[in-house]
Amino acid sequence: MGILENNIKLGLDRIGCGQASFCVLAGISETRFSRALRNVQPFGGGELQHLMSILQQMTGLVEDARPYPLSFKDPQIIKSLLFHRRAGLRLVPVPVGPAEAIVDFESEFEATKQ
């Protein structure tokens, strides 16, 4: 496996996205992706740029959703989120409720970041 293909695999693991969902989002077949990871048919420069861009955009969605986890189980939802993100829309989770509950919630997630 090439360095960039390995970076894609590690990036997917880091954000919790399976290869099947990534392939749907990137518009490539799972067979093609598997062949590249096994170094049977490595990706070309343009393909790698496209895949790295998709991964970067997906990572941005994950970062925007923090502290909430983002599920990649339904690629159609993620496709929609990516479409809107490319158009400039950013979704920011905001807790709403009693002040004490918000402080408790935020401190709980701050502790998990350290």
- pLDDT digits over 87-114, tens only? 999 888 888 899 998 888 888 777 666 5
Domains of the chain: 3-113 (1.10.260)
pTM over 0.95: no
Which long-range CB contacts under 8 A does 36-39 form with residues at least 24 apart?
Answer: 36/1, 36/2, 36/5, 37/1, 37/5, 37/9, 38/1, 39/1, 39/2, 39/5
Which long-range CB contacts under 8 A does 29-37 form with residues at least 24 apart?
Answer: 36/1, 36/2, 36/5, 37/1, 37/5, 37/9
User: Looking at residues 53-68, what average pLDDT do you find?
Assistant: 92
Q: Tell me the helices (H) and strands (E) count for the chain, helix number first.
A: 6, 0
